[in-house]
Amino acid sequence: MKRRPERPAATPTPAGSPAPPDGQDGRKRVVIEAVTPEIDAGRFPAKRVTGETVTVEADIFGDGHDTVVAVLRYRHQSAGDWIEVPMSPLPNDRWRGEFPVTELGRYLFTLEGWIDHFETWRRQLAKRIEAGQDVTIEFESGARMVEAAAARATGSVAEASSLAAMAQAIRVGGTRGIDAINSELSALMRRFAERSRATTYPRELEVVVEPVKARFSSWYELFPRSTGVAGKHGTFKDVERLLPEVARMGFDVLYLPPIHPIGKTHRKGANNKPAAEGEPGSPWAIGSEQGGHKSVHPELGTLDDFRHLVSAAAEQGIDVALDIAFQCSPDHPYTREHPEWFKHRPDGSIQYAENPPKKYEDIYPFDFETEHWRELWQELLSIFLFWSEQGVRIFRVDNPHTKPFGFWEWLVGEVRRSNPDVILLSEAFTRPSRPNLWPNTPDILTEYLQTGGKPAFQARLVLAATLGASYGIYGPAFELMESRPREQGSEEYLDSEKYQLRAWDRKAPDSLRELIAIVNRVRHENPALQTDRGLRFHPTENDQLLAYSKSSPDNSNIVLAVVNCDPHHVQRGMVNLPLEELGIERDRPYQAHELITGARYIWNGPRNYVEINPYAMPAQLFRFRRRVRSEHDFEYFM
Amino acid sequence: MKRRPERPAATPTPAGSPAPPDGQDGRKRVVIEAVTPEIDAGRFPAKRVTGETVTVEADIFGDGHDTVVAVLRYRHQSAGDWIEVPMSPLPNDRWRGEFPVTELGRYLFTLEGWIDHFETWRRQLAKRIEAGQDVTIEFESGARMVEAAAARATGSVAEASSLAAMAQAIRVGGTRGIDAINSELSALMRRFAERSRATTYPRELEVVVEPVKARFSSWYELFPRSTGVAGKHGTFKDVERLLPEVARMGFDVLYLPPIHPIGKTHRKGANNKPAAEGEPGSPWAIGSEQGGHKSVHPELGTLDDFRHLVSAAAEQGIDVALDIAFQCSPDHPYTREHPEWFKHRPDGSIQYAENPPKKYEDIYPFDFETEHWRELWQELLSIFLFWSEQGVRIFRVDNPHTKPFGFWEWLVGEVRRSNPDVILLSEAFTRPSRPNLWPNTPDILTEYLQTGGKPAFQARLVLAATLGASYGIYGPAFELMESRPREQGSEEYLDSEKYQLRAWDRKAPDSLRELIAIVNRVRHENPALQTDRGLRFHPTENDQLLAYSKSSPDNSNIVLAVVNCDPHHVQRGMVNLPLEELGIERDRPYQAHELITGARYIWNGPRNYVEINPYAMPAQLFRFRRRVRSEHDFEYFM
């Protein structure tokens, strides 16, 4: 019976009709599809951070009415063996399983499903017995399945003999047979299941696991050169002096614009005019005779000074993030050593950056279509690796959208292969963008901030810090509410730090630093604000009021934000909350605890009145507590 | 410059850092993703019918701001050469192209995109000239690109020399240079584009093209054995006699339950009781000593008679559809010739069908887990091929969900490989089901039809015929409004034709045959009802009123259906129409032409009052005409 016949024994089929698929077993009856997470048929990995759980779902079904079983298999890329966990059926052929990701790097997972003949038999036997049918033959069928499992349990002597005994008991039938069909037997039958016809999902899917800061981080950008005392050029040592202040505001990433030597040719001066003698130039015009992307601008200090800054920051829980801008000033060593990495004009000169008719003659872009792209890619990778060796764990990538996608995919993979703890934050032009919200940057002072005064800064701070689990500000321009544009209609700052040193009065009384500290503390105290997955918007009955909530993965922590987007007028209106989703009982009052001011309100039902005066505070953050005792109203909410 | 160096010339990279991907060109800068139609990453083909157009869309983009160009390539499986058509950009990096499918079988398509350096140059040159810049060098850059194209135009002598001349004109510059940059040059540059770094989508996707009846067909099911005169067993000749009536009602598929010899063992009689002597049995208990799935039940006639019926039906535009039920009576020849295709109980008997505690001892299912699955598959395929050779083009597949998915995928592919004009209609249990709506079947008499009287039959007819481009009825039970269940709470017919012959009074005055003819005529006159793609539901202000519209692919034909689902009471309410989507001007009256009664109404605006008396007609079908002249209201709507 076990031999595979050479030719069909059946009625001859018409000429030309091929045999059923060779090399495949047509008896694999389970189908696995619609797997999540799966991005572009496995082309790209899903992302998680350490400590999270990967929840895997799939449609898993067979033909007919037999019982289906499914398992999830996973392993870290560095582990040889798969770990297998059972999946549970949800309604409508959907199945779910999960696994924890505790290590950085790549995890692989796949699924397997099969028809469980024993469980099918067990289920049907119960129905037959209930209907009073003669089940003598069914007992025999079951005994044979258990014997087959015993035969598969080679190497597990005790289990094999248990199974053999159970098979015999079932064969005898009657009460003894029924008693033998217990949970111990089910567990053994599952362990030694017949899986030769199991369907394995054809793809091994990937999950990239990053450090927690890839999901939840608070960024503060500053220009080191503006941190000097008495108008002097700032240094890494000056930045070190400011670390306690950055930490006090609650930031855990300190992001620096490029720290490399700055080119002199076509250097730009204050307010983007040609530089006069002595002007410092733009840090993004990278490279001079003093070095390129692996060198430090001498006026900032030495490489040792930089490493010291990185260590000192780490002691305060702060990562120093470096800006990686892949472009060169005309004075960059690459332009002499590797002219083949740049595009040349018919006159032999290197092609500068331009967006016709605009010309950026102080910047040479790399030519990613060069014949020598392999060497170029290697060199650019070596820049990341160089700074990784100096202790940098976070990079912010400038203008990624002007370099090929294939280049980034390769580079990110290579960087992470040796440095799985490194995080790359892409500037916002890529598709899709990583959510990281910035109310201002050195390039962008929005009209809203130019004209909205303090309420505008406060509102945008709360929006960024609560809509995005990762967010950042460019300071001290932000907390000191710098709002002057270079000219009417421009989003450029007047006297932008991109082109000149600025002296900031960091101790100014009218600073947002206290509010920033409170908002960052609220972020740290509320897991709901540490992920973007639980974001929901809620209808308000006033277009100027924006309401949304975030919830933690286990739903135990929920924060509601209501923001008055009108920086000039008091706005009031009803906010509609989906109480059930928020875990609040419909018919009982609940406490709304405002987290910025500490005020506590008793709310009732899904519609609640909110009135926000932007001159007091344009945003409110609520955490809800339901009442568990009726006396001592405020003490017994939980 | 063209040589590929053996080792990086750049700064040495850290040990262990691998070379950029080998065998790939890192300069392919275009990305193609999110292609539609694409099902499960190309695992399954999309479906179309002959004469349709396949509209292909994709996200296609590159890095930076250079101009991207994309083409769609397609071919029929039988054609060696690809046909290439340009794609057009839509907003947001989305691109669209299309191709017609005129032949049955499989089409393949894929996409290609590349950076168009010439077009980028042309666009930028215009901006430079407008800004009054010196463009001497840019003319030279352009001339070199055109020369390169001339070099690629080998074998196209005239074009190559045109291009060379244009290159020279551009090089000279000035007005002559600008004049040379014309649409002729653009066309030539597109034709001889530099595509060595084009990105080809990594998959060739498939489209299966079926006959039009796979999308649009009207099915009529009848039991041939009930078509006899004076209580005699009906024959294929009797069915032939009824063809004109079937055609008059507007049906184009005549679907017959299994026509094979019927088993005697455990035969079932009237109302599913054990058969008494002389009872005919169920046509689904297939096989007796007179033959199996490739034989004809002798009382229906001969195989010749059957072929004659198929030909006679074809003359009236009707396809005869055969029911394929892969199961056997205990008397089927397979049970003796191929016992290895069935599951055996421990006592050696063949396992009958069951759904414990229910037993169906007159039916043996095949065992798709048999060691001999290959031969079983071959034999089952040969059944389809046998009937195809008898002229059958449409099969209705019974209980497909109890056979493995892999089997069906293989079988459907094999049947279509030699018979691309064959259509398989799956009974409705599969995932996903092919939309084909049936208000009744020999198995299902819904409670709604049992209790709703004539309005219920009328409403369900219109719903099926207008919601589904393919629909069917089981007659004459349907048009004669047979509504008696076997027992209270059952959906089985009393005196079901599954188990006995029935004499139907096909000329009865109270028959729905005239309404059926009208509804089928409306379907034929309105392309909107011949596809399911343009279906939209519209809000009504009365839950008993169901409103929806269908539109043809080119939107030129739109039909609105309003159905009163309450068979007992007049229902009235407002129907809300999205006038813009329906192509109706908001501020002008428009004509609503009711297609069943022929009544014409003038409607105004999106909200219109509808009142439906189920005893008159529970459903209304409207076609809209907008007024083009103000006089002669009804003549000048179009």
| Helix/strand/coil (H/E/C) assignment for every residue in B169-216 | HHHHCHHHHHHHCCHHHHHHHHHCCCCCCCEECCCCEEEEEECHHHCC
**Which B positions 338-367 lie with beta carbon below 8 A of chain A?**
338, 340, 345-347, 355-357
Whether A272 has its CB under 8 Å from any CB of chain B: the answer is: no
Tally Cβ neighbours within 10 Å of residue B49: 19
Contact A379 B197 (CB under 8 A): no
Q: How would DSSP label each residue in A281-339?
A: --TTSB-BTTBSTTS--GGG--HHHHHHHHHHHHHTT-EEEEEE--EE-TT-HHHHH-G
Assign B11 to helix, strand or coil.
coil
pLDDT attached to residue A428? 74
* Per-residue pLDDT at B587: 82
Q: Do B18 and A414 touch (CB under 8 A)?
A: yes
The letter for the amino acid at A399 is: N
Q: A564: part of which helix (H) or strand (E)?
A: strand A558-564
Q: What distance in Å separates residue B418's CA from the closest CA in chain A?
A: 9
Q: What is the pLDDT of residue A430?
A: 52
B619-626 and B590-594 beta bridge pairing: antiparallel
Q: How far apart are CA A126 and CA A129, in angstroms?
A: 5
C-alpha count within 13 angstroms, C-beta hemisphere, residue A244: 1
State pLDDT tens for residues B344-395.
Answer: 999 999 999 998 989 999 999 999 999 999 999 999 999 999 999 999 999 9
43-62 in A: which are within 8 Å (CB) of B? 59, 61-62
Which structure tokens are listed for A606? 């899904």
With contacts defined as CB-CB under 8 Å, which chain A residues touch B13?
Answer: 378-379, 381-382, 385
Q: Return phi, psi of residue B187, to 5°.
A: -65, -45
The dihedrals phi and psi of A233, each to the nearest 5 degrees, come to: -65, 125
> Percent helix, strand and coil across chain A, each rounded to 5?
30, 25, 45
B24/A355 touch (CB, cutoff 8 Å), yes or no: no
Query: What is the CA B260 to chain-centroid distance, rounded?
Result: 30
CA atoms of A167 and A189, how far apart (whole Å): 11
d(CA A330, CA B312): 85
To probe the interface with A, which of B94, B123, B369 has the most A CB atoms within 10 Å? B369
Q: How far apart are CA A89 and CA A109, in angstroms?
A: 18
Q: How confident is the model at residue B427 (pLDDT cuts 50, 70, 90)?
A: confident
Residues in chain B within 8 Å Cβ distance of A355: 65
pTM of the full predicted structure? 0.89
Amino acid of residue B636: Y
Question: Given an 8 Å threshold on Cβ–Cβ distance, is A13 in contact with B371?
Answer: no
pLDDT tens digits, one per residue of A421-463: 999 998 876 554 466 699 999 999 999 999 999 999 999 999 9
Q: What angle do CA A240, A246, A248 make, to 5 degrees?
A: 120
pLDDT of residue B627: 57
pLDDT of residue A435: 61
Which residue out of A27, A94, A350 would a mutagenesis test of the B interface target, given it has the greatest number of B Cβ atoms within 10 Å?
Answer: A27
- The confidence band for B24, taking pLDDT boundaries of 50, 70 and 90, is confident
Of A51-60, B26-35, B420-429, B613-622, give the lowest mean pLDDT range: B420-429
- The token pair that represents A505 in the structure block: 């009065």
Omega of the bond leading into A21 within 30 degrees of 0 (cis): no
Q: Which residues contact A626 (CB under 8 A, 6 or more apart)?
A: A583, A584, A585, A588, A590, A591, A637, A638
Say which residues have a Cβ less than 8 Å from residue A153's Cβ, sequence separation at least 6. Answer: A159, A160, A163, A188, A191, A192
Question: Is the previous residue joined to A420 through a cis bond, with omega within 30 degrees of 0?
Answer: no
Chain A residues inside the 8 Å CB shell of B389: 14
Nearest Cα to Cα of residue B473 among B464, B486, B485? B464
Report the residue from B131, B369, B401 with minimal CB separation from A27: B369
Distance (Å, whole) CA B486 – CA B317: 36
Tell me the per-residue pLDDT of A380-389, one tens digit each, with 9 for 90 and over.
Answer: 999 999 999 9
From A16, A19, A404, residue closest to B26, measured CB to CB: A404
- CA-based nearest residue to A411, from A434, A388, A433: A388
Q: If you search the block for the tokens 């003038």, which residue do you land on? A: B602
Q: In this complex, do B8 and A375 lie within 8 Å of one another by their Cβ atoms?
A: yes
Q: Which residues of chain A, if any, have pLDDT below 50?
A: 1-17, 432-433, 629-638
pLDDT tens digits, B567-605:
999 999 999 988 888 878 888 888 899 999 999 988 888
Do B356 and A124 make contact, defined as CB atoms within 8 angstroms? yes
Positive or negative, the CA dihedral B124, B129, B133, B138 is positive
Mean pLDDT, residues B470-497: 97
What is the pLDDT at residue A233? 97
What tokens does A309 get?
């800054």
Tokens found for residue B160: 């190559």
CA end-to-end span of chain B: 67
Average the pLDDT over B468-473 and give the result. Answer: 96
Check residue A16 and give its pLDDT: 43
Residues of A in contact with B20 (CB under 8 A): 373-374, 377-378, 410
Nearest residue on chain A to B140, alpha-carbon basis: A346
Size of interface A-B (CB pairs under 8 A): 211
CA B267 to CA B276: how far, in whole Å?
A: 9
- What six digits make up the tokens of B31? 């990305």
Compute the mean pLDDT over every residue in chain A, rounded to the nearest whole number.
92
Q: With beta carbons less than 8 A apart as the criterion, state whether B594 and B605 touch.
A: no
The residue-averaged pLDDT of B203-218 equals 97
Residues in chain A: 638
Give SS3 for B545: strand
CA distance B438 to chain A (A): 23
Structure tokens at A463: 């929006």
Distances (CA, A) of B118 to B61, B171, B194: 17, 14, 9
From CA A475, how far away is CA A218, in angstroms rounded?
A: 13
How far apart are the CA of A405 and the nearest CA of chain B, in angstroms?
7
The answer to whether the beta carbons of residues B425 and B394 sit under 8 Å apart is yes
Query: Is the interface score ipTM higher than 0.90?
Result: no
**Angle at which helices B183-191 and B157-172 pack, to 10 degrees?**
130
Q: Are strands B394-397 and B423-426 parallel, antiparallel or unpaired?
A: parallel
User: Which residue does chain A place closest to B199, by CA atoms?
Assistant: A406
- A positions 10-49 inside 8 Å of B (CB): 10-11, 13-14, 16-21, 24, 26-29, 31, 33, 40-41
Separation of CA A109 from chain center: 18
Question: Which tens digits make up the pLDDT trace of B220-229?
Answer: 999 999 999 9
Handedness of CA B386, B391, B392, B394 (dihedral sign): positive
* Interior angle at CA A295, CA A292 and CA A299, nearest 5: 110
A269-325, pLDDT tens digit by residue? 999 999 999 999 999 999 999 999 999 999 999 999 999 999 999 999 999 999 999
H/E element, A450: helix A447-467
pLDDT value at residue B431: 52
Whether residue B123 has pLDDT greater than 50: yes
Give the dihedral of Cα atoms A37, A41, A42, A45; nearest 10 deg.
-50
Residue pLDDT, tens place only, A13-44 = 444 445 677 668 899 999 999 999 999 999 99
Which of A20, A379, A402 is the closest to B378 by Cβ? A20
CB contacts of B418 in chain A (<8 Å) are 16-17
The DSSP letter of residue B536 is: E
In whole angstroms, give the CA distance from residue A435 to residue A396.
13
Residue tagged active-site, from B206, B427, B479, B497:
B427
Other CB atoms within 10 A of residue B130 CB: 10
Measure the CA–CA gap between B398 and B326, rounded to whole angstroms.
7
Model pLDDT, residue A555: 86
Neighbours of B464 (CB within 10 A): 21
Specify the pairing of strand B470-474 against strand B535-538.
unpaired
Contact by Cβ (8 Å): B498, B442: yes
Structure tokens, B430: 């599969």
| DSSP state letter for A12 | P
Type of residue at A489: G
**B427 included as an active-site residue:** yes
Q: Quick check: helix, strand or coil at residue A523?
A: helix
Rounded Cα–Cα distance for residues A559 and A624 (Å):
7
Note whether A378 and A348 are within 8 A (CB): no
Token pair 């739903």 in the structure block, residue: A555
